[in-house]
A and B are shown apart, each in its own frame.
Chain A
Amino acid sequence: EVKLLESGGGLVQPGGSLRLSCAASGFTFTDFYMSWIRQPPGKTPEWLGVIRNKANGYTTEYKPSVKGRFTISRDNIQNILYLQMNTLRAEDTAIYYCTRGLGLYWGQGVMVTVSS
């Protein structure tokens, strides 16, 4: 059974940093692209970025508005996906989801609140 479990969310002050983790199980992690998607409360989801699979060199792509502030990486030994978020702003407040590929499997999400 495919499982994705996000962690690392919480309250952070504007300008701060946070690293989210997504523990993956039930599939061969290195075979799959992995994405981060966020959803502000009551709003539409927003794709943030993707990290490709082993066959495609684990390269990354980002939504332009977060490129340079957010970094996606993966630990292919422990099967963990990461999202490093720096210089956080109030508008980054959202539920953050990891997904396998583009949307077939989702985690339960983790809340990030950016506020002073």
Chain B
Amino acid sequence: DVVMTQTPPSLSVAIGQSVSISCKSSQSLVASDKNTYLNWLLQSPGRSPKRLIYQVSKLDSGVPDRFSGSGSEKDFTLKISRVEAEDLGVYYCLQGTHLPFTFGSGTKLEIK
């Protein structure tokens, strides 16, 4: 299975600050169709996860442009600019290139 190593495990930030979360995969996530199926999800407290970003950098509808994704091959980053209170929760990366699909271990974002 592809191992997704996500860091840091937790972050505590003040409103308005920017943060970055890293996700590294044990194999390249470039698929045979040349797309890279790396997603970022947010699980707010008590809620189902919600996808924010797909294919590394594409924002899902309704996701604020404070969120951005970047990276390639095996190294990916989620950046949140100007953190807001509603951003708290656990962020997961999820690879959809290689079966079985696998999640990172999560990054818990807390607001100071």
Residues of A near any B CB (own CB < 8 A): 35, 44-47, 50, 61-64, 97, 102-104, 106-109
Contacts and interface: CB of A to CB of B under 8 A. Distances in A.
Contact of B48 (A46, A61, A64, A108): A108
B103 A44 contact: yes
Given A44-B104, A46-B103, A64-B100, 6 more contacts: A61-B100, A103-B49, A103-B54, A106-B49, A106-B50, A107-B48
Nearest to B106: A44
Interface of B: 37, 39, 41, 48-51, 54, 60, 92, 94, 96, 99-106
Contacts of B92: 44-45
Nearest to A95: B48
A11 B39 CA distance: 33
Contacts of B106: 44
B48 A106 contact: yes
A23 B39 CA distance: 25
Contacts of A104: 51, 54, 60
